[in-house]
Amino acid sequence: MNLCIDQGNSRTKVALMTDEGKMINHFIYKQFSSVDVERLFDLYDITDSIISSVVNIEAAIVNTLHRRSQHFVLFDHMTPVPIVNKYDTPHTLGQDRLAAAVGAKSLCPNENLLIIDAGSAITYDFVTDKGEYMGGNIAPGIKMRFTILQRMTKKLPLVETEENELIPLFGKNTRDAIAAGVIRGIAYEVKGYMRTLREKMDHFQTFLTGGNAPYILNNVRTSRTEKREIRYEKNLVLIGLNTILIHNKTASLKE
């Protein structure tokens, strides 16, 4: 069994997966340490592991994973991946973005792919049907936009929205006006990327992932075409990490 760890800015996602890509279990930690790693190895039949992080990883976590795994991958810009990375500065590319691209490609190997990760920031990444990662864009996330509106003005309140809230087209009060401006604005961003790609190519698949994806999902899916083109994958980064682990494990066995 494979242990896949995605350490983000505010939480750590963990999945137990098979080489065939089946997810056995998954967990979310607000705080994650080597003690949690030891506990996972004690509870489950884990043989191999991979960790990706957008923050500094504790040395104790890395040491424990290395000690208890038959095959361990510390995912960084030097790690071999099963797609071609054409980013000009691969050392600055977030591992979560690259892992999500690999995950999407493993699920739709012959498609052009738009990968949207709605987390603290929103990233838009593109992978060709030939498996070439062509780069992407970074924009402020939902919470960031709400916070900026409140902090950069004197009278606007800090707004929070519910995950399944259907946002109006136009707000009839200040709270709804802010919610609609932010959520609808992101929805139109997404539609704009999709419309541009639709004009440039015959086929593509959009993947939507990230902790804030459900906030915008219902506000983007407004037509039959968009419903077909948008695929929500909650654990896309973890799927990608598992694919990268298997790719490296297979390569090492051939050596």
Give, for all 255 residues of the chain, the pLDDT tens digit.
Answer: 999 999 987 789 999 999 999 999 999 999 999 999 999 999 999 999 999 998 889 999 999 999 999 999 999 999 999 999 999 999 999 999 999 999 999 999 999 999 999 988 999 999 999 999 999 999 999 999 999 999 999 999 999 988 778 888 999 999 999 999 999 999 999 999 999 999 999 899 999 999 888 888 877 765 455 555 789 999 999 999 999 999 999 887 766
Catalytic, out of 6, 48, 96, 117? 96
Instruction: Please give the structure tokens belonging to residue 177.
Output: 């006006």
At 218 the pLDDT is 76
**Contact call for residues 245 and 104 (beta carbons, < 8 A):** no
Task: Using alpha carbons, select from 168, 166, 165 the residue that is nearest to residue 180.
Answer: 168
Residues 101, 116: Cα–Cα separation, whole Å: 10
Is 96 catalytic? The answer is yes
pLDDT at position 129, please? Answer: 96
pLDDT reported for residue 252: 77
Contacts of 158-162 spanning 24+ positions with Cβ under 8 A: 161/215
Q: Which pLDDT score, from 0 to 100, does residue 214 have?
A: 86
Q: Is-contact 106 195, C-beta < 8 A?
A: no
Phi then psi dihedrals of residue 162, to 5 deg = -85, 150
pLDDT at 163: 79
- Find where tokens 């498996």 sit: 131
pTM of this prediction? Answer: 0.91
Query: Which residue, among 41, 37, 32, 26, has the nearest Cα to 12 in the 3D structure?
Result: 32
C-alpha distances (whole Å) from 38 to each of 3, 34, 44, 75 are 12, 6, 10, 20
Residue pair 178/171 in contact (Cβ under 8 Å)? The answer is: yes
Task: Report the first-to-last Cα separation within the chain, whole angstroms.
Answer: 22
